[in-house]
Structure 1
């Protein structure tokens, strides 16, 4: 694969620490959510960051495929939910739900476009076979 772009970020302190991108654009304190036994509060966490990245990436893939297929779409929206849980082997895993909004297309055409985007999206390709991803049209 020929790289087009490479992002770099550093984490210190794990889930109760700090993350920063190499260009300092992303610079956050991270904390374990209250539901996982942490202090919670006005902090982000790895699952929120993954959800934001996946949603943005999938929406871009959706619009890329629509443009490639010459399908006119406007105001598409992707809501990503990322859950974390313990696996039977003692490790941890993720589950993802993507709620995809494609206004002004019939359900069949929107479904086909969403599925094509799922094949093109780098996040989808990176986790395929490892993470359950549920796709749903809004």
Structure 2
């Protein structure tokens, strides 16, 4: 195993209709199965995964850009979908990066390099479908 840089901790109770909390209390959320309890508000595992993946991918994109000596501004959105898979379920992700400071060709190159570098992308590679898109904005 590689050298551990840090470890995060969270605990869930009650599954998809329960509660999740990080050890430091910064994450302290009720969980609600989408469509099951219309009068309750809460998060769900897909939303939490999308938040983590978008933050990680955005940071990785900026890291790769710096390595390539490119000055960029980015905003990364990740949609995580829960899909029916035979008798079970699976997830898929769609990643969209809006980037300023480079051409479309440079942005596409950075996107592919980021997907190879990002720890979340490495963790999911070959396990879930991931759709990548990059938009150059002014």
The two structures share one fold, judged by TM-score above 0.5: yes
RMSD between superposed Cα atoms in Å: 1.0
| Secondary structure class of the residue paired with 1:80 | strand
Q: Does 1:136 align with 2:133?
A: yes
Structure-2 separation of matches of 1:67 and 1:105: 12
Q: Which runs of 5+ in 2 are unaligned?
A: none
Aligned residue in 1 for 2:22: 21
1:91 is displaced (CA, Å) by: 2.3
Q: Does 1:31 align with 2:29?
A: no
Aligned length: 133
Q: Does 1:114 align with 2:111?
A: yes
Structure-2 separation of matches of 1:12 and 1:42: 17
Aligned residue in 2 for 1:92: 89
- Under a length normalisation based on structure 1, what TM-score does the superposition of the two structures give? 0.93
- Under a length normalisation based on structure 2, what TM-score does the superposition of the two structures give? 0.93
Structure-2 separation of matches of 1:2 and 1:121: 17
| Secondary structure class of the residue paired with 2:65 | helix
Correspondence for 1:124 among 100, 121, 124 = 121
| Secondary structure class of the residue paired with 1:99 | strand
Contact persistence 2:70–2:102 (CA under 8 A): no
Q: Which runs of 5+ in 1 are unaligned?
A: none
Structure-2 separation of matches of 1:3 and 1:135: 29
Moved over 3 A (4+): none
- Which structure's residues are more often strand, by fraction? 2
- For residues 33-60 of structure 1, the C-alpha deviation after alignment (integer angstroms, 9 at most, x for no partner) is 01xxx11442111100000100000000
